[in-house]
Amino acid sequence: MAADDGDEKVKTFICKNCDFSSSYHYFGTKPPFVKSILLLEEAYVKKDPFSSEGGMITLGSHCHHCKLSVCCSPNCSLFYSKRFCLGCVGQNIEEFPREIQQDIRVVTAQVP
């Protein structure tokens, strides 16, 4: 997906895992309203309404494996060099380092 061109029409991010939704201002790696940040993934971001210095809030991205949009909540996704939804993480858990596997098992045991 290419970066948005900065227009101000209302766009909505929806997490396909938990149904969290929020308007967003930009999708990509270099939000034009935050000059000093380069994200490690293409992400949905919005301007931080509480920041006077032009901050941002990262809402989510796309799972590298299944391509669904997922929020950054640890109950929905994991970022380990790329973003993965917890469903894909569970199906491919042996592909992650042991330390990450242990953390994933703790998080997924807590998810209702």
Q: Report pLDDT digits (tens) over 63-85.
A: 999 999 999 999 999 999 999 99
* Model pLDDT for residues 9-44, shown as the tens digit of each residue: 779 999 999 999 999 999 999 999 998 899 999 999
Sheet with 56-62: strands ordered across: 26-28, 43-47, 56-62, 69-71
How far apart CA 84 and CA 69 sit, in angstroms, is 10
pTM, two decimals, is 0.83
Q: Which tokens hold the place of 25?
A: 């201002």
Q: Which residue has the higher pLDDT, 54 or 89?
A: 89
pLDDT confidence of residue 92: 92
Amino acid identity of residue 19, one-letter, is D
Contact call for residues 13 and 22 (beta carbons, < 8 A): yes
